[in-house]
Amino acid sequence: MRLSRRILLASSAATAATAVPAAAWAETRIHPTLTADPFTLSVASGDPEPDGVVLWTRLALDPLAEDGMGGMPNGSFDVKWEVAKDERFRRRVASGWKETAAEIGYSVHVEVDGLEPGREYFYRFKTGKWTSPVGRTVTAPSRRSMPSELRMAFASCSQFEHGYFTAYRHLAESNPDLILHLGDYQYEYKAGVYNSPDGNVRDHEGPETVTLATYRQRHAQYKADPDLQAAHLAAPWLVVWDDHETENNWADEVPESGSDTPNPEDFLARRAAAFQAYWENMPLRKSSVPQGIDMQLYRRVQWGRLATFHMMDTRQYRDDQACGDGTQTDCAEAWDESRTITGAAQEEWLIDGFHDSRARWDVLGQQVFFTQRDADAGGPLRTSMDGWDGYAASRQRIIDGWVDAEVRNPVVLTGDVHTHWAGEILADFPDAQGPSVGVELVATSITSGGNGADSVPEDNAALKINPHIKFRNAQRGYVETVITPDQMDVHFRVVPQVTVQDAPVYTRRSYTIADRERVLHQTYDRPVDPSTMSTNENPFADSDENADDHLN
């Protein structure tokens, strides 16, 4: 009860713009009878620790209800949760009750502890006569152990209108132990504003998301998708946001140019609403409960001594994009030592983590393109201001931090740009001749940008200009990895189309990163399928900040 009051007070700016039942949760003990299944949004788990994990669900009879409350009757609901070692719940190991109500969007977050490290569990929820789907989760190994293998997949950028979430289902079927989502889990636009070049195949419900009600409704529309539900049921997730969970290209307290909320006070109310809805709809711990316009999202998850995941937030604390945003030529402001994409506190936290780490692999789960990506052959640097190129000094401090800390195997994971990329991170940009001190792996979109296209990587202009970048592919999909003490195997998975349901999936290219080498070794390449090729594709016009320029 105290938690719900803190949430209500902290989010007062956001809740003022939406319809919330007049009766306070703490003042009612009404438990209405539910006459239909309230588990339409399924279940999820996240942030695994050696002794436990976060379990999540959100009650909704009508996910698309305009008031964002999922068609739930006013009142509070007691929800039972159960954890077992088997799918049929014959060997239950933990259970309890959690109350939920309108103030937290009828969401349920359970931080289970007392579980065994490094093992598989199954979980479910019950309320009244209704039982949720059964989810699978995995606890992290004990901190001192060295696991023989971790199967980890990562993804980003799922625009509901642009296609079907088939890639999420294929990801679920790969049996991962852990899934990372690196941002743009949902998009804020009303129907028909952000259009795929292949034509939108579905419509967003409701207006552009600005209020708590509209963000709740949009999250529910995405969560109701069966392919996305399958991915949540398959394994625990580590989530971080990028921009579209709030608004395209926002930066700290600055909205995008041409924003629906250009007034600073309106944008901060919108930010608080977006943060509140994000927490309500994600398997996050109570340490991430928003406090008004602030939300603690960067955090670490350790997978024994095999890997440490440094989950980052490159939106909430960044300086505004340099030189007016977009792609700019020779922008001196991007190299300003005082500028930051992480904020000073997060930068210090990250570098301290490098020095403290004893993991075989240090993995940065973050949002935007990290390595230098020049778009001008032979001329001055032409780079994106929304990625780390727009915060070059901030990037160099991070690189220097892991080099000074002698991090054994630094790997940066990235989303945002709707394209698969693989590259090596050099010690000192813009010097393109220095040694590689790390690797960046970039996941394409699940659907954003439509079907995309295949191409011959060796003929790609971006790779010719940037020899430290080894691979690019603009089809849709995700990335699978198998992490062992000796190497990380990487498979770039793609689907040929997202405008049709149930498209097949295949591996476009594979790499191995050997322990201590910090470079990419190609191990597999599938020949280009002529039916998926594009002859006029711009290799630099594939990221969110460019795709959405027509909206500004």
Helices and strands: H and E segment counts in the chain: 10, 24
Identity of the residue numbered 238: L
Residue written as token pair 């949002």: 367
- Listed in order, strand segments (DSSP E) in 458-505 are 469-483, 487-495
Tokens of 331: 């922008």
Radius of gyration of the chain, Cα coordinates, nearest whole angstrom = 22
Identity of the residue numbered 377: A
Partners of 126 in the beta sheet?
A: 80, 131
Query: At 452, is the secondary structure helix, strand, or coil?
Result: strand
Query: At 50, is the secondary structure helix, strand, or coil?
Result: coil
Return d(Cα 401, Cα 393) in angstroms, integer.
12
The predicted pLDDT at position 4 comes to 32
Beta strands 469-483 and 452-453: pairing type?
Answer: antiparallel
The predicted pLDDT at position 529 comes to 81
Residue ranges of the chain with pLDDT lower than 50? 1-28, 544-552
Return d(Cα 149, Cα 178) in angstroms, integer.
12
Query: At 439, is the secondary structure helix, strand, or coil?
Result: strand
Return d(Cα 321, Cα 256) in angstroms, integer.
10
Closest CA to 361 of 414, 313, 416, 402: 402
The predicted pLDDT at position 542 comes to 53
Helix (H) or strand (E) holding 15: helix 12-15
Are the beta carbons of 507 and 493 closer than 8 angstroms?
Answer: yes
Return d(Cα 463, Cα 539) in angstroms, integer.
9
CA angle at 385 for the pair 426 and 349, rounded to the nearest 5°? 60
| The total number of residues written for the chain in this structure | 552
Return d(Cα 300, Cα 295) in angstroms, integer.
15
Task: Quote the pTM value.
Answer: 0.93
Query: At 441, is the secondary structure helix, strand, or coil?
Result: strand
Return d(Cα 298, Cα 240) in angstroms, integer.
8
What is the domain partition of the chain in residue ranges?
150-551
Q: Is the bond leading into 380 cis (omega within 30 degrees of zero)?
A: no
Identity of the residue numbered 524: Y
CB atoms within 10 A of CB 207: 17
Are the beta carbons of 142 and 118 closer than 8 angstroms?
Answer: yes
The predicted pLDDT at position 431 comes to 77
Are the beta carbons of 164 and 501 closer than 8 angstroms?
Answer: yes
Are the beta carbons of 208 and 511 closer than 8 angstroms?
Answer: no
Domain 150-551: homologous superfamily in CATH: Alkaline phosphatase D (PhoD) (3.60.21.70)
Query: At 108, is the secondary structure helix, strand, or coil?
Result: strand
CA 143 to chain centre: 25
Query: At 383, is the secondary structure helix, strand, or coil?
Result: strand
Q: What is the DSSP string of 169-220?
A: HHHHHT--SEEEE-S-SS--PPTTSS--TT--SS---SSSS-SHHHHHHHHH
